[in-house]
Structures are given as C-alpha cells and as structure tokens.
C-alpha cells in the first residue's frame, strides 16, 4: 500500500505538471524544468537562492523566478515573504518557498514518501509542515498574513503570523526537551524591541 501511495504521488508530480504546463505552453525546455523542480523540492522551506539554482540547472535567474511563479500559479507551492515592516534596516527580504504538501514535495525531490523520508531530517520537515498549516489558516479565516524573519546578523524567526493587528512569532523545534537556547532568536528579538521602546521614551 505504501509503495502504491508513493507511485501515485510521483505520477501526480510528473503527469499533472506535464499535462498542465505543456497544454498551456508555459515551459519551453521541459527537461530543464524537471531539473529545476527537483532542486526546488529539495530546498523547499529554505530561503530561495535564485542564482545558485540557475547555475545548477543551467538556466537564467530570471527563468528560475518565472518557474517559481509558475509553481505558485498552478497551486503546487507558495512563498512566505520576508517581514519588511520592521524598523530594522538589516533584514533580508528574499522569500522562502514551500510545496503545499510534504508528500508531493518528497516525490518531486526524488524521495519515496513515507516515514523513512520524514525521519531522515525530522526537524526540517516538521518546520515545513507547520509552515504549510500556518499558510492555510489566513485562507480559511479570510484575514492575516504569514512571513518569516531573517537578518544579516544571523537572527532568524521561522514564522511571523500577522493577524488582527498583532504579530505572533513561531519557532519550530523537533525535540522532547526544549531548552532556552532553542528560543534564543525569539529572546534576542524581544530584547531588541524592548530596548527600542525604552530608547523612544
């Protein structure tokens, strides 16, 4: 049964995409697009590095951008933008890209979907699963936005949920014993915000 599910996911990734994209004549070089798709899947959840993917696939960075947009347009994935309304001036605004489903992501990356694939890097895939679920909520509720935060000095917050005038910070860790160290970036951000308010006073 598990092997059957894996084959269904692989067929969906290749057959659905090929029919959809070729019918609309959206991609000229199908083999290059498949190479891009596998790389995009392998790096799902990460900040997009357009130049490196372009070098690896052998296409122009502008084409990489259009391919990512195409995956969004046909509802294969979505981007989580960098948070840009912070007063900090050293933010990096490049988005993170996620496939809408981890099984599809694994199949597109050339993995066999299942427990073994997930347990090969559980922290990473838990973070992606949380991101997918957080991305769905604003659509269900009809309000809110999802962001991530990354600064040039190394501070990272996995997700920022903007809703009802509030910003909710979310940090994802795979551990049975959370430690204060796991929340160091959240703590640093809160301290900076507190210091900024005190300075304003």
Task: In whole angstroms, give the CA distance from residue 70 to residue 73.
Answer: 5
pLDDT at residue 198 is higher than 50:
no
Strand partners, 82: 148
The model's pLDDT over 105-114, given as tens digits with 9 standing for 90+, comes to 988 888 877 7
Q: What's the fold here for domain 2-200?
A: Arc Repressor Mutant, subunit A (1.10.10)
Task: In whole angstroms, give the CA distance from residue 14 to residue 174.
Answer: 31
Whose tokens are 């990460």? That residue is 46
The interaxial angle of helices 61-73 and 50-57, nearest 10 deg, is: 100
Q: Are 134 and 161 in contact (CB under 8 A)?
A: yes
The model's pLDDT over 49-82, given as tens digits with 9 standing for 90+, comes to 999 999 999 999 999 999 999 999 888 899 999 8
User: Which candidate, 118, 97, 103, 98, places its Cα nearest to that of 12?
Assistant: 103
Task: In whole angstroms, give the CA distance from residue 82 to residue 16.
Answer: 30
pTM attached to this predicted model: 0.81
Task: State the pLDDT at residue 58.
Answer: 94
Name the residue ranges covered by the structural domains of the chain.
2-200
Calculate the average pLDDT of the chain: 82
């Amino acid at each position: 049964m598990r092997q059957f599910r894996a084959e269904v996911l692989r067929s969906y990734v290749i057959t659905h995409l090929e029919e959809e994209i070729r019918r609309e004549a959206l991609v000229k070089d199908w083999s290059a697009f498949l190479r891009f798709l596998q790389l995009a899947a392998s790096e799902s959840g990460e900040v997009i590095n357009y130049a490196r993917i372009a070098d690896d696939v052998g296409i122009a960075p502008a084409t990489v951008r259009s391919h990512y947009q195409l995956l969004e347009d046909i509802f294969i994935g979505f981007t989580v933008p960098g948070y840009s309304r912070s007063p900090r001036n050293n933010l990096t605004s490049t988005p993170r890209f996620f496939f809408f489903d981890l099984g599809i992501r694994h199949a597109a990356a050339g993995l066999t979907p299942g427990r073994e694939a997930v347990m090969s890097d559980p922290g990473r895939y838990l973070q992606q699963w949380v991101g997918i679920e957080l991305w769905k909520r604003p659509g269900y509720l009809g309000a809110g936005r999802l962001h991530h935060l990354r600064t040039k000095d190394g501070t990272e917050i996995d997700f920022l949920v903007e809703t009802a005038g509030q910003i909710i910070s979310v940090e994802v860790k795979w551990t049975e014993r959370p430690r204060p160290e796991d929340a160091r970036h959240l703590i640093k951000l809160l301290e900076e915000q507190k210091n900024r308010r005190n300075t304003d006073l």
